[in-house]
């Protein structure tokens, strides 16, 4: 599913403040320290808690191998100014349906700065640009409003709740499914590129005139993405 371009470890994805790059063995300590926090692990399906130190290097190896084979695209999230410093991870995974599924986490000290939204928007732009997929999916635990907000700011729409197996949490948990269709993404990108969100005459429009499905935060974040 993932193209030649992403299958080499020189692949980089650049956003306004971040570099997303392949994970390396040198990231092991940063992954163990940050993914090992309960607040991070408990919202994910596959991060164990406590995180066994001996599991980190095999995990990095498996992620690199899957990247090389085009089975998935899993990237370290790093600040552009410090690309050796992993602050989180993000990945897109193949599903049997053909629609990729994305997941992500950041170390707690980096929460609340918009980094996850920036990384998610960078990844979805890349996926829709490089891969012929009709949509991208994600899900969150229903007790995870921060992740829900990241997806909403990126144009995903909720599709309902379901019980999902979260192997590292040891059972089934209520989760919410999200989906971003290519057509929605393309519309959001074109609105941003034409300055739709910032045109003064449009800002003066009444709420009755406004596009009903597009929250103000999303207008802003999409236009920022396009401007970058």
182 near ligand COA, rule: CB under 6 A: no
In the shown chain, the binding pattern of residues 28 to 57 toward ligand COA, with x for contact by CB under 6 A and - for none, equals ------------x--xx-------------
116 near ligand COA, rule: CB under 6 A: yes
CB contact at 8 A, 85 and 78: yes
We find the least distance from the C-beta atom of residue 184 to ligand COA, in angstroms, to be 19
Q: From 17, 26, 21, select the one nearest 8 (Cα to Cα).
A: 21
Pick the closer one to ligand COA by CB: 38 or 65. Answer: 38
Q: Of the ranges 6-14, 103-111, 155-163, 198-206, which one interacts with ligand COA (CB under 6 A)? A: 103-111
127 near ligand COA, rule: CB under 6 A: no
173 near ligand COA, rule: CB under 6 A: no
Report which secondary-structure segment, H or E, holds 95.
none
In the shown chain, the binding pattern of residues 147 to 166 toward ligand COA, with x for contact by CB under 6 A and - for none, equals x-xx----------------
217 near ligand COA, rule: CB under 6 A: yes
CB contact at 8 A, 222 and 152: no
Q: Name residues whose C-beta falls within 8 Å of residue 228's C-beta, 6 or more positions apart in sequence.
A: 15, 16
We find the least distance from the C-beta atom of residue 8 to ligand COA, in angstroms, to be 27
Q: Total binding residues for ligand COA by CB under 6 A? A: 22
| Sole binder of ligand COA in the list 113, 157, 198, 205 (CB under 6 A) | 113
Pick the closer one to ligand COA by CB: 69 or 216. Answer: 216
- Cα separation of 166 and 174, whole Å? 10
- Cα separation of 171 and 167, whole Å? 6
Pick the closer one to ligand COA by CB: 149 or 182. Answer: 149
Q: Of the ranges 10-18, 24-32, 142-150, 180-188, which one interacts with ligand COA (CB under 6 A)? A: 142-150
- Cα separation of 113 and 129, whole Å? 26
- Cα separation of 93 and 66, whole Å? 10
Q: From 157, 187, 176, 203, select the one nearest 43 (Cα to Cα).
A: 176
140 near ligand COA, rule: CB under 6 A: yes
* Distances from the Cα of 4 to the Cα of 57, 71, 72, 131, angstroms: 25, 11, 12, 11
Pick the closer one to ligand COA by CB: 70 or 144. Answer: 144
Q: From 155, 80, 71, select the one nearest 121 (Cα to Cα).
A: 155
Any alpha helices (H) in 70-155, and if so which ranges?
115-130, 145-153
The contact set with ligand COA (CB under 6 A) reads 40, 43-44, 103-106, 111-117, 140, 144-147, 149-150, 217
């Amino acid at each position: 599913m993932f193209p030649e371009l992403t299958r080499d470890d020189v692949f980089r994805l650049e956003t306004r403040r971040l570099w997303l790059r392949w994970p390396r063995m040198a990231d092991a300590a940063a992954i163990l320290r940050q993914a090992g926090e309960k607040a991070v692990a408990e919202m994910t399906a596959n991060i164990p808690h406590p995180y066994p130190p001996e599991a980190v290097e095999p995990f990095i190896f498996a992620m690199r191998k899957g990247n090389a084979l085009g089975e998935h695209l899993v990237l370290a999230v790093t600040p552009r100014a410090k690309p050796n410093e992993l602050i989180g991870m993000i990945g897109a995974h193949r599903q049997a349906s053909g629609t990729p599924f994305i997941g992500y986490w950041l170390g707690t000290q980096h929460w609340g700065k918009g980094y996850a939204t920036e990384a998610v928007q960078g990844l979805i732009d890349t996926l829709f640009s490089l891969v012929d997929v009709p949509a991208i999916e994600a899900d969150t635990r229903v007790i995870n409003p921060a992740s829900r907000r990241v997806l909403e700011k990126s144009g995903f729409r909720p599709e309902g709740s379901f019980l999902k197996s979260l192997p590292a949490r040891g059972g089934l948990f209520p989760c919410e499914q999200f989906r971003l269709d290519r057509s929605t993404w393309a519309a959001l990108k074109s609105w941003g590129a034409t300055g739709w969100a910032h045109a003064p005459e449009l800002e003066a429009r009444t709420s009755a005139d406004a596009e009903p499905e597009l929250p103000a935060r999303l207008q802003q974040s999409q236009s920022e993405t396009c401007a970058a």
